[in-house]
Amino acid sequence: MENIIKEIKHKPELKDLPNSLVEKTLNEYLSKNGISLSNSIKERKIIIKEIRAQLRKYSGQYTSKSNIKNREELIKEGRFSEILNQHASTRERSADYEEIKEIINNLNPKSILDLGCGLNPLAIASQEVNYYAYDIKEEDLNIVSEFFKINGIKGEVHNKDIRITDNFPKADLCIIFKVLDILGDNRNETARKLLTTINSNFFLISFATRTLGGKPMNSPYRRWFEKILNELKYPYEVKRMKQEVVYLIKKA
Ligand SMILES: C[S@@+](CC[C@H](N)C(=O)[O-])C[C@H]1O[C@@H](n2cnc3c(N)ncnc32)[C@H](O)[C@@H]1O
């Protein structure tokens, strides 16, 4: 097991992922397909390819090597807005950030829990708010951590898989931007668990309105997610922005 995990992670864009995530993805794949790790080189190659594809979906972005190198310079020089522009999610959101920040300011949170944060804290965090940032990508968390330090923000970063973490800190607002769709087979179950167990009065949860190929989705509203909210009787408002649909949920 250890060897195959090492082999799977032998790609620059996957090397920072925690072993626990790789192992969980691998085990899920093996049991879903009713197979075990085989000694056949051909089968092993197929498994590695499948797991890497799955993990790339989780990591949600494709950072090129030149971008990584350039990032190091930008961090050293504190040029965080340029880093935001390198990250697919935050770059695409630049048109929507103003509206998103207005929603957040109206809630006046003193603490924010951001799950699958990517580089979003660079756009949202401020000195007035305690910020808890969770992601499986160590590389992004390092940038976030540096950003907190340089800007005197009371923040914590946690390199944790949100599907298997239980003890999230209490926060006035919980943000989950463009993450729930990529949680794999247990998406609904995980979404329900996060909504019910996290101690937060408000949730701000977004989903992409374009497919991975960049085409606009026919129906960007997530009915599966709305069904969960209705079952839980959590009142919500939904806003369609330029690049995302955003659900503002009040936990009853
Ligand atoms: C599409 S990006 C969105 C990033 C950020 N929320 C934003 O909108 O700017 C998805 C993020 O979720 C993270 N992620 C995916 N699966 C995760 C998991 N199981 N636990 C924690 N983070 C996860 C990825 O590493 C990635 O940073």
Q: What is the CATH number of the domain that holds 127?
A: 3.40.50.150
Are residue 14 and residue 81 in the same domain, yes or no?
A: no
Most informative mutation of 96, 176, 179 for ligand 1 (most atoms within 8 A of CB): 179
Most informative mutation of 13, 58, 86 for ligand 1 (most atoms within 8 A of CB): 58
Are residue 43 and residue 80 in the same domain, yes or no?
A: no
Are residue 51 and residue 69 in the same domain, yes or no?
A: no
| pLDDT tens per residue across span 29-56 | 888 888 888 778 888 899 999 999 888 8
Are residue 141 and residue 208 in the same domain, yes or no?
A: yes
Are residue 109 and residue 148 in the same domain, yes or no?
A: yes
Q: Tokens representing 59?
A: 């990591």
The number of distinct structural domains making up the chain is: 2
| pLDDT tens per residue across span 120-161 | 999 999 999 999 999 999 989 999 999 999 999 999 999 999
Are residue 37 and residue 159 in the same domain, yes or no?
A: no
Are residue 44 and residue 151 in the same domain, yes or no?
A: no
Q: Determine which residue's CA is closest to atom 13 belonging to ligand 1.
A: 116
Domain end among 38, 56, 74: 56
Cα–ligand 1 centroid distance for 102 (angstroms): 23
Cα–ligand 1 centroid distance for 163 (angstroms): 11
What is the percent of the chain with per-residue pLDDT over 70, rounded to a whole number? 94
What domain range is 36 assigned to?
2-56
Are residue 30 and residue 152 in the same domain, yes or no?
A: no
Are residue 36 and residue 70 in the same domain, yes or no?
A: no
Cα–ligand 1 centroid distance for 53 (angstroms): 15
Q: Which helix (H) or strand (E) holds 193?
A: helix 187-197
Tell me how far CA of residue 134 lies from CA of 31, 139, 174, in angstroms: 28, 12, 11
Are residue 49 and residue 137 in the same domain, yes or no?
A: no
Cα–ligand 1 centroid distance for 65 (angstroms): 20
Are residue 197 and residue 88 in the same domain, yes or no?
A: yes
User: What average pLDDT score do residues 152-171 get?
Assistant: 96
Cα–ligand 1 centroid distance for 40 (angstroms): 33
Q: What region, left, alpha or beta, does residue 151 occupy, with left being phi > 0 and alpha being psi -120 to 50 degrees?
A: alpha
